[in-house]
Amino acid sequence: MANYTAADIKALRERTGAGMMDVKKALDEADGNADKAMELIRIKGLKGATKREGRSTAEGLVAAKVDGGVGVMVEVNCETDFVAKAGPFVEFSNKVLEAAAESGAADVAALLAHSVDGRPMSEHVIEAGALLGEKVDIRRVARVEGAIVDAYLHKTSKDLPAQVGVLFAVDGNGSAAEEAAHDVAVHIAAYAPTYLTREEVPAELVETERRIADETARAEGKPEAALTKIVEGRLTGFFKEGVLVDQAFAKDAKKSVARVLADAGVEAKGFARFRVGA
């Protein structure tokens, strides 16, 4: 009988994120040697990499950091919430975040091609999947720059890493500017705007919304003379739903986000919002 205990099994599961039966089999084969068992788990995982290619990765975490007015955020995915909260997956995700910051990568392809410890990040992704026994993906990367950048991470479950992440950049300075940037970052996490300003909304989308509002008003029998005002009112409602600066501020619905920023003497420069799997 292999020389290991229940505590050894637990410790190796925490190191690898692997299932209990896989850990026990590896310890049996390694005669209780934890390092050898870990190596066996990795080898087995690499052999199964091809089989994992088509699997769905709907779990994972969001990680972010800010350095010198540059905010970087990544979403790293796996298959199960068990692995998402495992130490090795969290450590790997932090490695991905550091590589994203170091490389200046603006997209996943550039990040995967970036060399880390002499090998492209894409190889580290495969190795992480081998260690964890699940498909691992880098899904998204974002970079936001400004005089002040606030990074906000939100846990939707206390047992899991952050599932929602926000970067919000403004031009401005001082404690009031920093407070406003943070408050709006929290607002973005909750209200999920799509665009920063109305000017960013594609013209064809605006025209589609305008046409729908017009046709709807006519179908409701609204008077011709009132159509323009009604359509513009509904279009304003569309902007208030999806455009950050037009949204009602989460902490005070009587103010728009634009008013909150203006009161703090700052101008919004950009934002990114990730929610795992969304």
State pLDDT tens for residues 31-51: 888 888 877 776 665 444 445
CA atoms within 13 A on the CB side of 75: 20
Three-state secondary structure call for residue 162: coil
For residues 205-219, average pLDDT? 91
Mean pLDDT is lowest, of 121-130, 164-173, 181-190, 228-237, for: 121-130
Helix (H) or strand (E) holding 157: none
The pLDDT of residue 27 is 86
pLDDT at 152: 98
Neighbours of 142 (CB within 10 A): 22
Whole-number Cα distances in Å, 196 to 99, 200, 214, 220, 263: 27, 7, 25, 32, 18
Domain boundaries, the chain: 6-47, 59-195+261-275
Per-residue confidence (pLDDT) for residue 49, from 0 to 100: 42
pLDDT-based confidence at residue 168 (cuts at 50, 70, 90): very high
pLDDT at 139 over 90: yes
Contacts of 10 (CB under 8 A, 6+ apart): none
Tell me if the domain spanning 59-195+261-275 has CATH number 3.30.479.20: yes
Per-residue DSSP letter, 226: G
Q: What percentage of the chain reaches a pLDDT higher than 90?
A: 62
Dist. CA 103–CA 106, nearest whole Å: 9
- Of 14-28, 56-70, 200-214, 230-244, where does mean pLDDT reach its minimum? 14-28
Quick one: pLDDT at residue 50? Answer: 47
Could you read off the pLDDT of 98-115 as tens digits, one per residue?
999 999 999 999 999 999
**Higher-scoring residue by pLDDT: 162, 13:** 162
Give the lowest-confidence range in 28-37, 52-61, 110-119: 52-61
> Can you read off the two tokens belonging to residue 89?
């997956």
pLDDT at 142 over 60: yes
pTM of the entire structure?
A: 0.77
Residue 248 has pLDDT above 60, yes or no: yes
Checking if the pLDDT of 55 tops 60, the result is no
pLDDT at 47: 44
Per the prediction, the chain carries an average pLDDT of 89
Q: Answer whether residue 54 shows pLDDT above 60.
A: no
The whole-number average pLDDT for the span 47-74 is: 78
The topology (CATH level 3) of 6-47 is Helicase, Ruva Protein; domain 3 (1.10.8)
pLDDT at 52 over 70: no
